[in-house]
């Protein structure tokens, strides 16, 4: 099932932008990693200006980006995408906006709140943990490198 994600809501669940970075790139990277791991597709809709000035819509592998046009917002774009979908029941909308949540649910779409998507993301298997710690307790050379004593 494809995901239709309110990017600003998802970002808000992570603490929001941190000047000078609006962190939308982080949303794209994390959603793309999620999609690769799940074999899924997602469309992320953001309020505001495009990530690239020359593109209000981008296709990035399993992830599509959309930015609401001037005078509109992400919720409106998401509503329209669900309304135009051939089978809204095939969509999973990720939003914490109560009005949007209720509306797309009445159209038959499945809905997750941002914190529920975050819980799914946390369940994904992670790559091997990298550690600066030597592999063996008796690896003296490794410990010396770790603490910079061999420099």
pLDDT at 79 over 90: yes
Find the domain containing 134 and state its range: 3-146
Please report the pLDDT score of residue 119 as a whole number: 93
Is the pTM above the cut of 0.85?
no
pLDDT in tens, 36-69: 999 999 999 999 876 666 666 778 888 999 989 8
Please report the pLDDT score of residue 70 as a whole number: 84
- 111 part of a folded domain: yes
- 151 part of a folded domain: no
pLDDT at 10 over 90: yes
pLDDT at 103 over 70: yes
- 135 part of a folded domain: yes
Residue 44 φ/ψ region, left for φ over 0, alpha for ψ in the -120 to 50 degree band, beta for the rest: beta
Token pair listed for 42? 């997602």
Other C-beta atoms within 10 Å of 43: how many?
Answer: 21
CA 19 to centroid of chain Cα atoms: 19
Contact of 111 with 21, CB cutoff 8 Å: no
Please report the pLDDT score of residue 127 as a whole number: 56
- 28 part of a folded domain: yes
**Cis preceding linkage at 20, omega within 30:** yes
Contact of 75 with 99, CB cutoff 8 Å: yes
Mean pLDDT of the chain: 84
Please report the pLDDT score of residue 151 as a whole number: 46
Query: Domain tally for the chain?
Result: 1
- 130 part of a folded domain: yes
Task: Supply the CATH number for residue 127's domain.
Answer: 3.40.50
């Amino acid at each position: 099932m494809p995901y239709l994600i309110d990017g600003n809501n998802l970002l808000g669940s992570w603490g929001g932008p941190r000047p000078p970075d609006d962190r939308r790139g982080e949303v794209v990277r994390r959603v793309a990693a999620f999609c690769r791991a799940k074999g899924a597709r997602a469309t992320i809709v953001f309020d505001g200006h495009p990530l690239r000035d020359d593109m209000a819509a981008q296709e990035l592998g399993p992830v599509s980006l959309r930015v609401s046009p001037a005078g509109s917002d992400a919720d409106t774009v998401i509503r329209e995408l669900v309304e135009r979908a051939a089978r809204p029941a095939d969509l999973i909308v990720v939003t914490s906006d109560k009005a949007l949540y209720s509306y797309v649910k009445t159209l038959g779409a499945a809905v997750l709140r941002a914190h529920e998507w975050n819980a799914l993301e946390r369940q994904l298997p992670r790559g091997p943990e990298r550690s600066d710690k030597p592999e063996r307790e008796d690896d003296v050379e490794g410990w010396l490198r770790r603490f910079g004593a061999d420099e």
